[in-house]
Amino acid sequence: MKFSYIIFAVLIVFTSCKKDFLDSKPKGKLSDELLNSPDGIEALCISAYAALAGPEGSDGTFLSPTTNWVYGDVRAETAYKGGGGIGDISEFNQFETFTAVYASNALLDRKWFSLYRSVQRANSAIRRLNAVTEAEVPLKNTRLGEMRLLRAHFFFELSRLFNKIPYFDENVDIADYPKISNVEFTRDQILEKIAAELGAAAAALPAKQPEAGRATKYAAKAYQAKVNLYRAYKQNPDNTVSGVDQALLNAVVAQCDEVISNGGYDLLQDFQQLSMGEFDNSVESVFAVQYSIADGTDLGRINWSNLLNTPRGPAYGGDGFFQPSQNLVNSYKTDSKGVPIPETYNNSNLMTVADGLATNVDPRLDFSVGRLGIRWKNYTAAPYGQDWVREPATYGYYSNKKALVSPESPYMVKGFPWGGSSLNFHIIRFADVLLWKAEALIELNREAEALPLINRVRNRAKNSKYVTAFNSSNPTDYAAKYNIDTYKPGENCIWTNSYARTALRFERKLELALEGERFFDLVRWGNADQILNTEYFAKEKLLRTYLQNAKFTRGQDEYFPIPQPQINFSGGLYKQNPGYGAQ
């Protein structure tokens, strides 16, 4: 039986001497060292840009949308959450009604994390860019400028959502992250740093980029103007506005001027073109999120933030979220001379086709809002109808129209995700720049200079091709009694400073409606309490029962709470925003 001893011994030796048997590297993955190559760095820069569309990709961007429709419009007087009843993503309902918004809200933590993921994508690229020479990466400085702009953008979003945020750059070692507090810098200091970063980015960036999606010098300048405008409205610790900084307003004017005179931008001819994929990266686009379709991904790098936001019904079959409010619709009323009526607009409701024909209406209404019986873009089978709405008993019959392309458009996905499209989303468009400058001028008591800027915006709306009545071949049969004009002091208005301020703020609502900016505007101006509680909820709840308990609380609801998990992870280093309990 010696034979079997030998076999046994051989087996023991054999099994124990295969050296790398227990060494099993990951398959199909990259290691850290492989990323320092020029190709690796370029791919890191791309992924930082991709974060503009949401770092989650197709899977979860709709729960932390980068287009700010929830944070900027549903929280403002311009839109409802919509969708399948208030229980359908109840977190958004809580944001909308400002009730039961707790630090434990999972979608807040998600948004916070989403933005820091984005910040870190930029940091990861910056760290590696810093470590290479221009010989290795010839576009090193340009890419650095781009990454700094992206990072500034993500921090700015964090700042206006959460206020007390940890601010840091690429040089902080990960081991020191637990020491980064969210109160090391005040809002002012953070905005100042962001503005400085944007200035540095502007210095590094070329005026034009060979690729349309890349940030340019003037994108950085424009963004700097925006941040400085936010900085100009100083806030007290309880979030109320304490005053407006004249020097910063002057900086806003100067920076906007540079963009306006040297950037080569203009307004598109027709307001409708803003909702057409054909006009992506147009003359009006200062900085935009680039979406694509049929691009090698499963369903396209389309605007996933909008996943829920298409009407149901024949044209889209969508989930019916993001429905404009009655308040917004009423805002588009004009007087007989074609100017808005900010004092009385909400005294009656503009609802039906007949209502629209009975009163004067800004034509932007029917570019922005789907109304029953009105033509829907190029869709020819039927006008926008009841069967386009999902839960009319709760949310009424309006649909967001502006962020969608026409169902006939080649920029739209067929099938799921319903109505998803590659229409770019503007982070900054030229009309916004004009209005920032106007706003700064008015706050500087130079309202006369603001007038032509506002009128330039109104003039484009005026000169757009208006929506025509459905089933009418006559191009002058409009869907409503459109009547819009520029402000003509002495003729249709008296252009005082206070009138100009109201006009500017109203113009932003009309022009930028449903683009995710309104709530931040209200907080910047310090009138969210008055607009939401007095003007909006008090009236709107008569139509929308679910708004019965809605109430904006001053000194609290200007910002979201710092997500509780983050406070915990920080070991208590992070402080909570005012109004949300433990400080």
Among 394, 400, 406, 464, binds another protein (CB under 8 A): 394
Among 19, 22, 473, 498, binds another protein (CB under 8 A): 22
- Contact call for residues 407 and 419 (beta carbons, < 8 A): yes
Distance, CA of 164 to CA of 562 (rounded, Å)? 8
Distance, CA of 366 to CA of 454 (rounded, Å)? 20
Distance, CA of 37 to CA of 213 (rounded, Å)? 23
Please give the angle made by the CA atoms of 306, 312 and 315, to the nearest 5 degrees. Answer: 95
Distance, CA of 554 to CA of 534 (rounded, Å)? 13
**What are the E-state strand segments in 396-441?**
399-400, 425-429
Distance, CA of 215 to CA of 415 (rounded, Å)? 32
The residue (of 171 and 545) whose beta carbon lies closer to another protein is 545
- Does residue number 320 form part of the binding site for another protein (CB under 8 A)? yes
The DSSP code sequence of 143-172 is HHHHHHHHHHHHHHHHHHHHSS-----TTS
For 86-133, give the secondary structure using H, E and C.
CCCCHHHHHHHHCCCCCCCCHHHHHHHHHHHHHHHHHHHHHHHHHCCC
The residue (of 24 and 261) whose beta carbon lies closer to another protein is 24
Among 133, 261, 343, 414, binds another protein (CB under 8 A): 414
Find the shortest distance in angstroms from Cβ 561 to another protein: 11
DSSP, collapsed to helix, strand or coil, labels residue 46 as helix
- Does residue number 566 form part of the binding site for another protein (CB under 8 A)? yes
Among 301, 364, 462, 539, binds another protein (CB under 8 A): 301
- Contact call for residues 579 and 553 (beta carbons, < 8 A): yes
- Which of the ranges 234-242, 445-453, 479-487, 546-554 carries the binding residues for another protein, by CB under 8 A? 546-554
Q: Site mask, another protein, residues 373-392, x = CB under 8 A?
A: ------------xxx-xxxx
- Does residue number 19 form part of the binding site for another protein (CB under 8 A)? no
- Does residue number 166 form part of the binding site for another protein (CB under 8 A)? yes
The residue (of 392 and 489) whose beta carbon lies closer to another protein is 392
- Does residue number 42 form part of the binding site for another protein (CB under 8 A)? yes
- Which of the ranges 100-108, 199-207, 221-229, 506-514 carries the binding residues for another protein, by CB under 8 A? 100-108
The residue (of 241 and 353) whose beta carbon lies closer to another protein is 353
- Does residue number 472 form part of the binding site for another protein (CB under 8 A)? no
Write out the two tokens for 536.
Answer: 């909006």
The residue (of 170 and 511) whose beta carbon lies closer to another protein is 170
Among 207, 294, 448, 538, binds another protein (CB under 8 A): 294
The residue (of 389 and 454) whose beta carbon lies closer to another protein is 389
Among 123, 255, 275, 400, binds another protein (CB under 8 A): 123
Find the shortest distance in angstroms from Cβ 423 to another protein: 10
Find the shortest distance in angstroms from Cβ 250 to another protein: 34
The residue (of 506 and 546) whose beta carbon lies closer to another protein is 546
The residue (of 211 and 343) whose beta carbon lies closer to another protein is 211
Distance, CA of 459 to CA of 60 (rounded, Å)? 39
Find the shortest distance in angstroms from Cβ 185 to another protein: 14
Interface with another protein (CB under 8 A), residue total 123
Distance from chain centroid for Cα 28: 35
- Does residue number 499 form part of the binding site for another protein (CB under 8 A)? no
Distance, CA of 259 to CA of 251 (rounded, Å)? 12
Among the listed residues 531, 57, 59, the one whose alpha carbon sits nearest the alpha carbon of residue 292: 57
Q: Which residues contact 376 (CB under 8 A, 6 or more apart)?
A: 315, 370, 383, 384, 388, 401, 406, 407
Residue 59: Cβ within 10 Å count = 9
Among 130, 496, 548, 553, binds another protein (CB under 8 A): 548
Find the shortest distance in angstroms from Cβ 267 to another protein: 19
Distance, CA of 219 to CA of 234 (rounded, Å)? 24
The residue (of 19 and 473) whose beta carbon lies closer to another protein is 19
With tokens 């419009």, the residue in question is 73
- Which of the ranges 107-115, 257-265, 363-371, 443-451 carries the binding residues for another protein, by CB under 8 A? 107-115
Q: Site mask, another protein, residues 179-218, x = CB under 8 A?
A: -x------------------------------xxxx----
Among 297, 344, 347, 348, binds another protein (CB under 8 A): 297
- Does residue number 124 form part of the binding site for another protein (CB under 8 A)? yes
- Does residue number 579 form part of the binding site for another protein (CB under 8 A)? no
The residue (of 154 and 233) whose beta carbon lies closer to another protein is 154
The DSSP code sequence of 189-232 is HHHHHHHHHHHHHHHHS-SS-SSTTS--HHHHHHHHHHHHHHHH
